Structure 1
């Protein structure tokens, strides 16, 4: 089997790794209902409930498994772009803040929108396409000068990006175990069903699987292979633009992400009887989704990744900018939820009060 894989062209191996990793990610994310927005809303409303527990289980599992790969030498931090290049703290702060607002407005982060698209949710599909288009404009189009300006306000040298360098060797792993214990406790307190909780753990393990498989591929390939894991804003933008502009998509890990997650979510939804076509209605509205998706597209590219790409994938390797971006996503999601959903509204003028006869 290994000989057959190693005989394949580099692009085919990369897309195979991406597709298999993210086929599992899509299916498990759909079954667990993994979503940063839902977790944030629960948390900031004062009830760290079942959705928060699901996110915590996924994040902790990704952190533990990825740190184990680093500690045993399977994943070398010197090969990880988030730890070896200049980063942007201003990008993490501003981009994470915009992304936090956007995911509340669009009722789902970038990864959740792709997963929901696979279940037949047309609102998520439209919002996801807007995220993708704005991401591309932010990366290479008309919004790129604004991204470069905002990202250049506060840069951090590569030598300072790895938080693990400033901590005791085993502390990130121990922190991950503590977070996992917290997630298990909350899942039991709120009577989470066993399968969604296990699926959430599987979501986190898929993040580590992506890191491990791309590192393995890079270790024997004669070509330069980017060591990476699951992310959505950049890969989605490149996939869509390649589909529009090229007669044949170049094979890569990123192509496998988009196709794999969508297919995995669809297969899981169909198999579990949860596939259902849903569209915009007068109650759901449209403008809120579009504005939120635009904020996520720009914010995700500025922050260096989405709620998964920066928040979980980058957080699992202890990238400073990823943790800062995740923090500001959490903070601003709470602010956005309060402003949009819970803040007192001015009383409507209903006309003069009726007089007594």
Structure 2
């Protein structure tokens, strides 16, 4: 699609921010309506009790991977120019960060994107946890925790294995990656049928997933047509959350770009969806122990997400959709860590109940 008219009408930074806002609104609205949540999906899987959240995640994931790969095959998405593939990435960071993020999202009862979506509906627990997540992410990117992050990230990098492109390592063609995505879609449809997932929830899950290739397509189009260099990117929340926080705290802060529009867009989309469906509801913490658990989880996610180079969406779906090795490592680590953390917490809770009897 030719963006010349828009580029002649709107300045490049504002157009990038507006594009991020549109993608964010769509993702926020569909994620809120579908109840998209990696934490809930991973716990259903680890407990062996698949319900509606696992098929929602599978449908969103498969839609993102499938459409991204189709767009890449017809040269509408320049995946090779994305940060995940164009520059060296951290394998050690993907593994360690993914493990930390998975534990953190179980403690905080939601990943970074889920906290943002919930905060827009009136969940004050998610709002405070999201703010702590953004603060720790910023401290890990440019502040107090930066030396530790850089040291851990430098232990093992994609330079040691010859790049971060999983498709290239495995010799996969576009037809193979598209077929692979279709298998995931089929699995999502089977689980959706077994869970008797409502049609609108399934449609919304696919809609949330399609926000990822939309972001890839828009930033790729901007990179081809804009005068100034534009980073080809998808949807992620760790870096954008930190950047948005700094923009609010110290204006003018960072220049306008896609990421700056994304986070407010998700918040707005979720709020509007909840408003239209009458799902706005104020919720707070249930006590000091609950608050400590949420904030500990947010801290682990903030550092872990920045160390891994992405969150449950940024690495787990966006990076996976272009077959970045580190993204698949992070995604696997998140699933494993979430399941183990849930078992540990269940054991602790059982012990408390027994002690109280």
Range into which the TM-score falls when normalised by the shorter chain: over 0.9
1-structure distance, mates of 2:193, 2:36: 17
SS of residue paired to 2:351 = coil
Are the structure 2 counterparts of residues 119 and 168 from structure 1 closer, same or farther at C-alpha, using a change threshold of 3 Å? same
CA positional deviation for 1:284? 7.4
List runs of 5+ in structure 2 lacking aligned partners. Answer: none
In 1, the alpha carbon distance for the partners of 2:6 and 2:74 equals 24
Paired residue for 1:6?
Answer: 7
Deviation at 1:117, TM superposition (A): 0.6
Match of 2:109, SS state, is coil
* Residue in 1 that maps onto 2:163: 160
Indicate the larger mover: 281-290 or 138-147. Answer: 281-290
Name the stretch that deviates more: 198-207 or 77-86.
77-86
Larger radius of gyration: 1
| Correspondence for 2:255 | 250
Q: Return 5+ residue gaps in structure 1 as ranges.
A: 351-357
**Contact 1:14 1:252 (8 Å CA) reproduced:** yes
1:280 positional shift: 1.1
Q: How many Å separate the matches in 1 of 2:351 and 2:110?
A: 24
- The answer for the alignment partner of 2:339 in structure 1 is 334
Given the alignment, which residue of 178, 184, 189 partners 1:173? 178
Counterparts of residues 273-284 of structure 1 (less than 5 Å): 273-282=278-287
- Equivalent residue number for residue 62 of structure 2: 60
Aligned residue for 1:137, secondary structure, equals helix
Once residues 122 and 242 of structure 2 are traced to their aligned partners in structure 1, the CA distance between those partners, rounded to angstroms, is 21
After superposition, give the CA deviation of every residue in 1:237-278 in whole Å (9 maximum; x if it has no partner): 011012111147632101111110000000000000101111
Cα distance in structure 1, aligned partners of 2:242 and 2:156: 25
How far off is 1:172 after superposition?
A: 1.5
Residues 1:200 and 2:202 aligned together: no
- How far 1:224 sits from its partner (Å)? 0.2
Give 1:139 shift.
0.4
CA distance in 2, matches of 1:150, 1:120: 36
Is contact 1:243-1:249 (8 Å) kept? no
The corresponding residue for 2:351 is: 345
Cα displacement (A) at 1:14? 0.3
Q: Within 5 Å, which residues of 2 pair with 1:1-357?
A: 2-7=3-8, 8-157=10-159, 159-165=162-168, 166-169=170-173, 170-247=175-252, 250-282=255-287, 285-342=290-347, 344-345=350-351, 347-348=354-355
8 Å Cα contact 1:84-1:159 kept in structure 2: no
Tell me: CA distance 1:187–1:283, structure 2 relative to 1, closer, same or farther (3 Å): farther
Moved more, 163-172 or 263-272: 163-172
CA distance in 2 between partners of 1:310 and 1:323 (Å):
8
Q: In 1, Cα distance between the equivalents of 2:158 and 2:257?
A: 29
Q: Distance in 2 between matches of 1:95 and 1:329?
A: 9
Task: Give 3-state SS (helix, strand or coil) of 1:274's partner.
Answer: coil
CA contact (8 A) 1:28 1:200 kept: yes
- Structure 1 Cα separation of the partners of residues 67 and 288 of structure 2: 42
Residue 3 of structure 2 contacts residue 225 of structure 2 at CA under 8 Å; is this kept in 1? no
Q: What is the CA RMSD across the aligned residues, in angstroms?
A: 1.6
292 and 69 in structure 1: CA distance in 2 versus 1, 3 angstrom threshold: same
* Deviation by residue 1:51-77 (Cα, 9 ceiling, x = unmatched): 100000000000000000111111123
How far apart are the structure 2 equivalents of 1:67 and 1:95? 26
* Higher helix proportion: 2
The answer (yes or no) to whether the contact 1:61–1:205 under 8 Å persists in 2 is yes
